[in-house]
A and B are shown apart, each in its own frame.
Chain A
Amino acid sequence: MSQTVSAARKQAMTPSALGAILLALAFFVLFALSGVNASTTLKETTVSTSMPLPQLFFSLSSASILLIPLALVCMLCALIAVIGRQRNVAMMFSLVAFLAFGLFLIFFSREQMNSALYTPLSEALKDAGVKFKKRDVKSIDASFSPGAYAALAVCGLTALLCMPRWKQEQERRRVGRDLLPYAYIAPHLFFFIIFFITPAVYGVYAAFTKWDLFNEPVFIGLDNFKTMLFDSQNTYYRQLRNGLWNTVKFVLYSVPFCIAVPLTLALALHAKAKGSKFFQAIYYFPSLLSITTVTLSWRYMFSPDYGVMNRFFGSTENWFTPPYSWIVIVVVTVWWCTGSTMVIYQSALASIPQDHYEAAAVDGAGAWQKFIHITLPGMRYPLMYTFVTSVVAQFNIYGQPLILTGFANREANAVLLMYIQENAVKKQVAGMSAAMALVLGVCIMIVSFFQLKLMRSNAPD
């Protein structure tokens, strides 16, 4: 691989490569400028509309539109590859972009009814004074502007310009060598673009829209953020603050236990007492269960009427009201998370050389001193790793408070993801919900950034 890269670097930038770069850039310009023209006729009234392709992409109104991000990402990769003088790779990506964009143009044109096009057409029909129902609009004729076909041609031309000399045996071998790694990652890359990049981009876009999940989202700029960050009388201002603060509280309450409890258990099992394998299996078992199963089981155990906890402690307290509710949520979380973290710690403990302990014992170190000066430094990296993953995981808490307390007690245990889900799906306030999700995402990214910096500074050389 390194030989391929160095060989590629030795190649000079040829006129065809320069042409490929210009064509790839032209694709993005053409994509931004082209659009789709649509018309329909109803009760002898014909109305038409046109929609730019970027707007159509954000409507996500049919499955074929998912081919657009695939084409865009592939052309971007082709551009990067050709600049990096990886012509074979550029050829491959521009060919995939050609295929994806071509299929999009074919499939989309064949659709009889597209909701993104229906919305402006129905408005035009209403403006024209036509009374109708959705079922009356039998079909919509859609055709792309010449720019769209030019963009498709540009993809093909880029691939042609990057085409290797197939007649040369050495060149053919190089194509195989260059493209083989991409063949391995192709399936993952495909699904990554369709099911990760696209929803992520769309989620960010949705945060700047007013959207009821059913009709087309309407771009409203920063209004959602202004409302939830500065309008103190608004419900979403209250929900963001309460949800975020409850999420942070939960992270602060649970993360120390999510590290201390599995560490303690790992140390106990490391002593290899009789039956330790059995207990290892027992401690790991909750990690295999779904959060719903775990939470419902604990809900019965903490039930004020017939729960084993109140019987055991001889108490009549309601565990689902503050401040006890936080205890229940943390207990359930720690019980569920302990197994997987414990296994990491066991592995780390096993990797600490035994002679360190023997040497320390010769020097007269006690158990506590061994733990502080040998065990903890020896586990520094796994501890930091589990710290980072635990914080990120607990920021995404959802199931435990939802099932145990819901929005009761004046939303004392309502975390941000509960509000996000409810607003988006139940109340169909998807734009505001996406904005909340974006805020949560930014918070997690900031915390993770500092944690990763800390982890790298502590990482073994």
Chain B
Amino acid sequence: MKKFLALVLAMMMALSLAAVAHAEPIQINYWSVFTGADGATMQGMVDAFNASQDEVFVNHTPMTADDLYQKIPLTVQTGTDIPQVCIVHIERIPNFVNQDMLYSYDLDLIAEAGVKEENYNAAAWARTDIDGEHYGIPLDVHSYVTYYNKDLFTQYDLNSYVEDGYLTFDEVKELGDKAKAAGFTGYVTDLGWMRAQLLGYYGQLDPELTLSKDGINPCINNDNMRKVFETMKDLWEGGYTSVKNTDYSSEFYSGNMLVWSEGIWMKAAAVDAGINFGMLPAICYTPETCMSWTSSHNFVQFADENRTEEEDLAVAKFINFMGENSLTWAKDAGQCPAHLSINDVAEFTEYPQAFLADPARSDELAIYKYLYWGLFDTAFSRVGWDFVDGTISIDDALAQIDQEIADAIAAQ
């Protein structure tokens, strides 16, 4: 009996020691704006990180961007359930910093985990350097580009238009006329997500991407933006674009559209649809001045006085893993990883969006930086189709955008 008791005691002690030796992993709460297929891809990457080591465990909470931007101010204000790391769009970061909602990264600390400036896309990294501090680590850059239907281009003998890797507005009209003359009855191109299209074209006329001269008051009502609006209206009036409320993605997938302006994130859906497509930068005025509207998903850390340095280091390890393993993000989500190591992967260079990662073409990425991006986005998106179909004049539309932003700034 004594031997039995001694054995039980010994086993209990051994189990206790084992429990002490096996420390609990650091729990990291991670919020992202990835839902649907992108959400599943991101969850797979998070699972891979959790399986790769046992020191840190990441709980991923996906939600729509609108939900996240509504929840975050309330969470930070109340100081409860603030995620240790979060994905936001790069344009939102200046306003978060202005509202004292973000903590800057301790560059020495995150370097210990391998997160260093030289490993990332320079254009995306530089956009989150604010007042000598650094606030965002880019996961990707994602542009609004041009897809074209290779089969239709071959059928109607249009390949000469895309040989140089660019498609100008004049070429779109020419190839449209040529295809229609040959019996094509579908849409030449589309007016889809207008904000992304317009801002790409605006960057081609104003490479400084000026939305405000003093950083606060908007100056959207200018000659360059007027020309962009007129270009869109001209395409629509010429019958080259889809009509209002067209399901443009379905039209492209069904072979009823030659040229489709869309984000690179739709690549996987286009592949699933079985379309033989090619990808180019945004339609441009001239190839020399071509720019595509681009955003970037960034890892940020919101203000939380309770977060420890240990957690910050765990977050940095997670971010580094995501960067080094973002080929999955390029393959399944169609994005262009910001971690430069992916550029050297042979498989990635075969992807249609790879041209966006070319450092020599980084000046083609129109990444905007405006303190009141959220207000601009709402006001700018508001005019949508109205100026195209003449419901509102272009001058009135531009004046309305400036007025709406200025009034909102004054009322905040």
The chain A residues found within 8 Å of chain B, CB to CB, are 61-62, 113, 115, 133-135, 137-138, 210-215, 224, 227, 233-236, 303-306, 318, 320-321, 407-411, 422-423, 425-429, 431-432
Q: Are A214 and B73 in contact (CB under 8 A)?
A: yes
Distance A321 CA – B245 CA, assembled complex (angstroms): 10
16 extra interface residue pairs, beta carbon distance < 8 Å, beyond A214-B76, A429-B412: A62-B78, A113-B305, A133-B103, A210-B411, A214-B77, A236-B411, A303-B247, A305-B246, A305-B247, A305-B250, A320-B244, A320-B245, A407-B384, A422-B378, A423-B408, A431-B411
Closest to A407 in B: B382
Q: Which residues of B approach A to under 8 Å, CB–CB?
A: 66, 70, 73-74, 76-79, 99-101, 103, 243-247, 250, 303, 305, 374-375, 378, 382, 384-386, 391-392, 403-404, 407-408, 411-412
6 A-B pairs with C-beta separation under 8 A: A115-B77, A235-B407, A320-B245, A321-B244, A409-B386, A431-B411
**CB-CB < 8 A to A423: which residues of B?**
408
Contacts known (A235-B403, A320-B245, A410-B392); A134 close to B100, Cβ less than 8 A: yes
Contact of A134 among B73, B303, B385, B408 (CB under 8 A): B303
| Chain B, residue nearest A136 (CB) | B305
Q: How far is the CA of A61 from the CA of B78 in the complex (A)?
A: 7
- Which of A214, A320, A423, A432: most chain B CB closer than 10 A? A214
Give the chain A neighbours of B384 by CB distance below 8 A. 407-408
Those 7 A-B pairs whose CB atoms lie nearest each other, nearest first: A235-B407, A212-B412, A429-B411, A432-B411, A235-B404, A410-B391, A214-B73
Q: Residue B305 contacts which of A135, A306, A429 (CB distance < 8 angstroms)?
A: A135
Residue in contact with B391 in the complex, picked from A138, A234, A409, CB distance below 8 Å: A409
Report which of B99, B243, B374, B392 forms a contact with A426, defined as CB distance below 8 A.
Answer: B374
B77 near A305: Cβ-Cβ < 8 Å: no
A138: chain B residues within 8 A (beta carbon): 305
Q: Measured between alpha carbons, how far is A215 from B76 in the docked complex, in Å?
A: 11
Which A residues are CB-close (under 8 A) to B375? 427
Q: How many A-B residue pairs have CB under 8 A?
A: 87
**Cα–Cα, bound, A137→B303 (Å):** 12
Residues of B within 8 A of A212 (CB): 99, 412
Please determine whether A427 and B305 come into contact, CB atoms closer than 8 angstroms: no
Contacts A234-B407, A427-B408, A429-B412; A213 near B244 (Cβ below 8 A): no
Give the residues in chain B near A409, CB-CB below 8 Å: 386, 391
The docked-state distance in angstroms from the alpha carbon of A119 to that of B102 is 17
**Are the C-beta atoms of A214 and B407 separated by less than 8 Å?**
no
Instruction: State in angstroms the CA–CA spacing of A431 and B411 once bound together.
Output: 8
Distance from A404 Cβ to chain B, minimum over Cβ atoms (Å): 11
Nearest CB on A from B95, distance (A): 9
Smallest Cβ-Cβ distance to B403: which chain A residue: A235
Shortest CB-to-CB span from A115 to chain B, Å, is 6
Interface of A is mostly: loop
Q: B residues within 8 A CB of A411?
A: 382
Q: Closest B-chain residue to A428, C-beta based?
A: B412
Contacts of B412 in A (CB 8 A): 210-212, 427-429
Complex alpha-carbon distance, A358 and B293, angstroms = 76
CA distance A134 to B382 in the complex (A): 35
- How many angstroms between the C-alpha atoms of A254 and B197 in the bound complex? 38
Chain B residues whose CB sits within 8 angstroms of the CB of A408 once the complex forms: 384-386
B391 contacts across to A, CB distance below 8 A:
409-410
A211 nearest CB neighbor, chain B only: B412
Which residues of A have CB within 8 Å of B411? 210, 224, 227, 236, 429, 431-432
Q: How far, in whole Å, are A134 and B302 apart by their CA atoms in the complex?
A: 11
**CB-nearest residue of chain B to A422:** B378
Inter-chain contact B303/A135, CB cutoff 8 Å = yes
Closest residue on chain A to residue B72 by CB atoms: A214
- CB-CB under 8 A from A235, the residues of chain B are 403-404, 407-408
Residue of A nearest to B406 (CB): A235
| Nearest-CB residue, chain B, relative to A427 | B408
Evaluate contact between A410 and B73: CB separation under 8 angstroms. no
A215, B70: Cα distance in complex, Å: 15
Residues of A within 8 A of B378 (CB): 422, 426-427
Residues from chain B with a CB closer than 8 A to the CB of A234 are 403, 407
Q: Are B407 and A318 in contact (CB under 8 A)?
A: no
Q: Which of B78, B384, B408, B411 has the most chain A CB atoms inside 10 A of its CB?
A: B411
Whether the Cβ atoms of A135 and B103 lie closer than 8 Å is: yes
Cβ distance A122 to chain B, nearest Cβ, rounded Å = 9
The minimal Cβ–Cβ distance linking A56 to chain B, given in whole angstroms, is 16
Q: Which residues of the partner chain B approach A422 to less than 8 Å between Cβ atoms?
A: 378
Q: Is the CB of B245 within 8 A of A305?
A: yes
- A233–B247 CB distance below 8 A: no
A138 to B77, CA, bound (A): 15
Chain B hits for A215, CB < 8 A: 99
A213 to B99, CA, bound (A): 11
Q: Which residue of A lies closest to B305 (CB)?
A: A135
Given the complex, which residues of B lie within 8 Å of A62, measured CB to CB? 78
In the assembled complex, the CB of A139 is this many whole angstroms from the nearest CB of chain B, namely 9
Distance of A431 Cα from B79 Cα, bound (Å): 23
Chain A residues near B100: list those with CB within 8 A.
133-134
Q: Are A213 and B407 in contact (CB under 8 A)?
A: no
Write out the residue numbers on chain A whose beta carbons fall within 8 Å of the beta carbon of B77.
Answer: 61, 115, 214
> With A134-B303, A214-B101, A407-B382 known to touch, is A429 a contact of B245 (CB < 8 Å)?
no
A408→B191 CA distance, assembly (Å): 14
Q: How far is the CA of A320 from the CA of B244 in the complex (A)?
A: 9
Q: In the complex, A20→B177 CA distance in Å?
A: 90
Contact present for A113 and B79 (CB under 8 Å): yes
B306 to chain A, nearest CB (A): 9
CB nearest neighbor in B for A425: B70
A135–B104 alpha-carbon span in the complex (Å): 11
Known: A214-B73, A321-B244. A236 touches B392 (CB 8 A): no
Q: What is the CA–CA distance of A320 and B237 in the complex, to the nearest angstrom?
A: 20
Q: Are B245 and A303 in contact (CB under 8 A)?
A: yes
Provide the residues of chain A in CB contact with B79, threshold 8 Å: 113
A134–B102 Cα distance when bound, in Å, is 9
User: Which chain A positions have C-beta within 8 A of B103?
Assistant: 133, 135
In the bound complex, how far is the Cα of B99 from the Cα of A428, in angstroms?
12
Within 8 Å CB of B246, what residues of A?
A: 304-305
**Bound Cα distance from A286 to B352, whole angstroms:** 46
Check B303–A318 contact: CB distance below 8 A.
Answer: no
Nearest CB in chain A: distance from B395 CB, A: 14
- Docked Cα-Cα span, A346 to B246, in Å, equals 43
Nearest-neighbor residue (CB-CB) of A115 within chain B: B77
Interchain CA distance A214-B102 in the complex, whole Å: 13
Neighbouring A residues of B76 by C-beta, 8 Å: 214
Specify which chain A residues have a CB less than 8 angstroms from the CB of B101 in the assembled complex: 214
B92 nearest CB across to chain A (Å): 12
Inter-chain contacts of A303 with B (CB < 8 A): 245, 247
Q: How far, in whole Å, are A407 and B382 apart by their CA atoms in the complex?
A: 6
Q: Is the CB of B386 within 8 A of A410?
A: yes
Query: Complex Cα distance A409/B397, Å?
Result: 12
Q: Once the chains are docked, how many angstroms separate the CA of A212 from the CA of B101?
A: 13
Looking at the assembled complex, report how far the CB atom of A288 sits from the nearest CB atom of chain B, in whole angstroms.
26
Give A9 to B403 CA distance when docked, in angstroms: 63
Measured between alpha carbons, how far is A408 from B384 in the docked complex, in Å? 7
| Nearest CB of chain A from residue B88's CB, rounded to whole Å | 15
A305→B249 CA distance, assembly (Å) = 12
* A62–B80 alpha-carbon span in the complex (Å): 11
Residue of B nearest to A210 (CB): B411
Question: Is there an interface contact between A214 and B392, defined as CB atoms closer than 8 Å?
Answer: no
Chain A residue, CB-CB nearest to B383: A410
Residue of B nearest to A431 (CB): B411
